[in-house]
Amino acid sequence: MANLHIKILGAECNKCNTLLLRVQKIVSEHQLEAVVEKITDVQAIINHNIYTTPALLINNQVVSKGSLLSEKQIIEKNKFIFGE
């Protein structure tokens, strides 16, 4: 079973898709046991109290919202999870 549940919340826009690709790359490179999920349903996004996208949640904790993080920023914001 995966230790991490990572969610990307947002529409099928370039920023949301790019964030998803960056997270998937980090998960792969760091060989993390993680489930990566993209949520595009507007009501589901609102249910997470997210009103600006893209948003990144790790284990249901909001890590960022409304900005496209670089790979470095994703890792820096989550050192305790990614083991850096």
What is 28-43 written as a DSSP string? HHTT--EEEEEE--HH
For all residues of the chain together, what is the average pLDDT? 90
Stated length of the chain:
84
In the β-sheet with 61-65, what is the strand arrangement from edge to edge?
A: 34-39, 4-9, 55-58, 61-65
- Tens digit of each residue's pLDDT (9 = 90 or more) over 35-60: 999 999 999 999 999 999 999 999 89
Q: Which domains does the chain have, with CATH numbers?
A: 4-82 (3.40.30.10)
Contact indicator for 22, 71 with CB cutoff of 8 Å: yes
Smallest CA-to-CA distance from 1 within 60, 45, 55, 59 is with 59
Q: CA-to-CA distance for 78 and 44, rounded, in angstroms?
A: 24
| Statement: the pTM of the whole predicted model exceeds 0.85 | yes
pLDDT of 84 over the 50 cut: no
